[in-house]
Chains A and B, each alone.
Chain A
Amino acid sequence: MDDTRSTRREFIQGAIKLGGGALVFLSGTSLAAEEHPAERYDWEAHRYAYLIDTTKCIGCGSCVRACAAENGVPDGFYRTWVERYVLSAEGSHVDSPNGGRDGFPPIEPGFHPTKSFFVPKMCNHCKETPCIQVCPVGASYRTKDGVVMVDGDRCIGCGYCVQACPFGSRFLNPATHTADKCTWCYHRVTKGLMPACVTVCPTGTRQFGDMLREDDPVRKAIEHERVAVMQPHLLTEPQCFYIGLDKEVR
């Protein structure tokens, strides 16, 4: 009786040692990094930023249409959209019919407006994102060149990031059932092109730039002119900068 008990004890002790050792060895490691093929595009050489001059926007909606075509955005969802603000001391009216995709209709606001303007919006690619913070599976991330994206293969479609975005930039794609949003047309900018919205904007409202490039006009404007961002009190540090914003814009 004693012999079997001690061999059993030894076996259990040995198993625990083996298991514990495997545990310590394997826990938390991502396997040794493989060599990644050198990319011609160097993401450390860029830090992108976006400039929007709302004094120039005419609300044509070409950007919304171009984005939808370029990125296959489903109907009723928007990677970018345009808002119209019609304001006076007596009242305010804000609208964005179909995200501004087909332009804006004439309206009777019910008060005499003293100022009105358009504000194009999209994902702000914040530096301190609330959306990446809340992604439970690490599907949302920010690249070294400053673009926030969603890994469509890892996203579980929980929708937490959609709730966490203060700007309403994100949505759950009804076709893929994963989170989706503006990517600053990463497939274009890595090839030296501009995002589709910037390419078609007829008034120069939308500009895309690189904070690491000398003589970049967007960089100059951000560094030397007065610019604003959306919901600055939340300290998400958006990288979409606005010229001509009004206190009514959120």
Chain B
Amino acid sequence: MEHARHVFRVIFVLLLALVAFVLGRTWLVPKSYGLYGPYRFDNVAEQAAIRAPLHAGAASCAGCHEEKAKKLAAGVHQHVSCEVCHGPAGRHAKEGKVVAKAAIDRSFTNCARCHRKILGRPEKFPQVVLEQHVQQMGPSALEGKVCLECHDPHSPKL
């Protein structure tokens, strides 16, 4: 035993390190960790409050834009949310007050995203090959307001 003293010294040092580690760890573990599982429960509330909702849904636009909403609801675009074309309501109004103009994209690209004829869309969905569709109506530029020259976006069916 006398000759094994150096071993005990080593063991003592190791035990010290272990105690220091355990103490340090207890200090560092977040308080809400482990309450409902191996994660920090506080984050659930943090995620629920991470940002203010940006999209408001079509129903909220009707609060200020009643006529447009009524026209929309009567037409074939009744299920198309205002925010699809005009962007998130949260960028336009906060707490009932306008903060910026809502985006209005009048270009062919905006309509083409849904209505240009491509492989993949359901057969019955209204889609057109723009060149053919326009030629039926007469020669016109491909870009610009070409769709809107004939179609009202809030009640597009002619």
Q: Interface of chain B, helix or strand or loop or mixed?
A: loop
Beta-carbon contact of B84 and A62 below 8 Å: yes
- Determine whether B7 belongs to the interface, using a CB cutoff of 8 Å to chain A: no
Interface residues of A in 23-61 (CB under 8 A from B): 23, 26-27, 29-31, 33-34, 36, 39, 41, 43, 55-56, 58-61
- The answer to whether A196 and B55 touch (CB under 8 A), given A41-B48, A186-B48, is yes
The answer to whether the Cβ of B138 comes within 8 Å of any Cβ in the partner chain is no
Mask for A64-84, Cβ within 8 A of B = 1, else 0?
001001111000000000001
Given the complex of chains A and B, what is the CA–CA distance between A85 and B120 in angstroms?
7
Instruction: With A31-B31, A60-B84, A107-B118 as known contacts, state yes or no: A199 contacts B47, CB within 8 Å.
Output: no
| Residue contact A58 to B119, C-beta cutoff 8 Å | no
**A70 close to B54 (CB less than 8 A):** yes
Q: Provide the bound-state CA to CA distance between A106 and B16, in Å.
A: 70
Closest to A145 in B: B44
Contacts of B53 in A (CB 8 A): 70, 185, 187-188, 191, 193, 196
Decide if A128 is an interface residue (CB 8 Å cutoff). Answer: no
Is B112 positioned at the interface, with any CB of A under 8 Å from its CB? yes
Q: How far is the CA of A116 from the CA of B122 in the complex (A)?
A: 8
| Stretch of A149-157, A213-221, A229-237 contacting B (4+ beta carbons < 8 Å) | A149-157
The stretch of B34-42, B93-101, B139-147 that contacts the partner chain: B34-42
Size class of the B contact interface (CB-based, 8 Å)? 35 or more
B47 contacts A200, CB within 8 Å?
no
Name the contact of A141 in the complex, choosing from B26, B39, B46, B118 (C-beta under 8 A): B39
Q: A60-B84, A103-B113 are in contact. Are A186 and B57 (CB under 8 A)?
A: no
- Does B43 sit within 8 A of A, measured CB to CB? yes
Interface contact A200-B83, CB-CB below 8 Å: yes
Query: How far is it, in angstroms, between the C-alpha of A56 and the C-alpha of B120 when the chains are bound?
Result: 10
Q: B116 at interface (Cβ–Cβ under 8 A)?
A: yes
Which residues of the partner chain A approach B16 to less than 8 Å between Cβ atoms? 19
Pick the contact of B81: A22, A152, A200 (CB < 8 A): A200
Q: Which residues of A contact B15 (CB under 8 A)?
A: 16, 19-20
Tell yes or no: A7 within 8 A of B by CB.
no
> B120: which A residues are within 8 A, CB to CB?
58-59, 84-86, 104, 116-118
Known contacts A106-B116, A138-B38, A188-B53: does B23 contact A143 (CB below 8 Å)?
A: no
A182 to B44, CA, bound (A): 15
User: With A69-B87, A116-B120, A139-B39 in contact, do A30 and B57 touch (Cβ < 8 Å)?
Assistant: no
Verify if B80 is at the interface (C-beta below 8 Å from A).
Answer: yes
A-side interface residues, number (CB < 8 Å): 72
Highest count of chain A CB atoms <10 Å: which of B36, B38, B47, B48:
B48
B121-A26 in contact (CB<8A): no
Asked if A194 lies at the interface with its beta carbon under 8 angstroms from chain B, I say yes
On whether the beta carbons of A103 and B112 are closer than 8 Å, the reply is: yes
- A187 and B47 in contact (CB under 8 A), knowing A15-B12, A203-B79? yes
Could you say which residues of chain B place their CB within 8 Å of the CB of A168?
Answer: none
Give chain B nearest CB distance to A25 CB in angstroms. Answer: 9
User: Is residue B6 contacting chain A, with contact meaning CB distance below 8 A?
Assistant: no
- CA–CA, A31 to B29, complex, Å? 9
> Given the known A-B contacts A60-B114, A70-B88, A149-B43, are A107 and B79 also in contact in the complex, defined by CB atoms under 8 Å?
no
Q: Are A60 and B113 in contact (CB under 8 A)?
A: yes
With A30-B29, A59-B121 as known contacts, state yes or no: A204 contacts B79, CB within 8 Å. Answer: yes
Could you list 7 A-B pairs, sorted by A, with CB under 8 Å? Answer: A16-B15, A84-B120, A103-B114, A106-B118, A138-B33, A149-B44, A187-B53
Interface residues of B (CB under 8 A from A): 8, 12, 15-16, 18-19, 22-23, 26, 29-41, 43-55, 57, 79-81, 83-84, 87-88, 91, 109, 112-114, 116-122, 125
Give 4 new A-B contacts, CB below 8 A, not counting A12-B12, A154-B43.
A62-B81, A72-B51, A103-B114, A106-B119
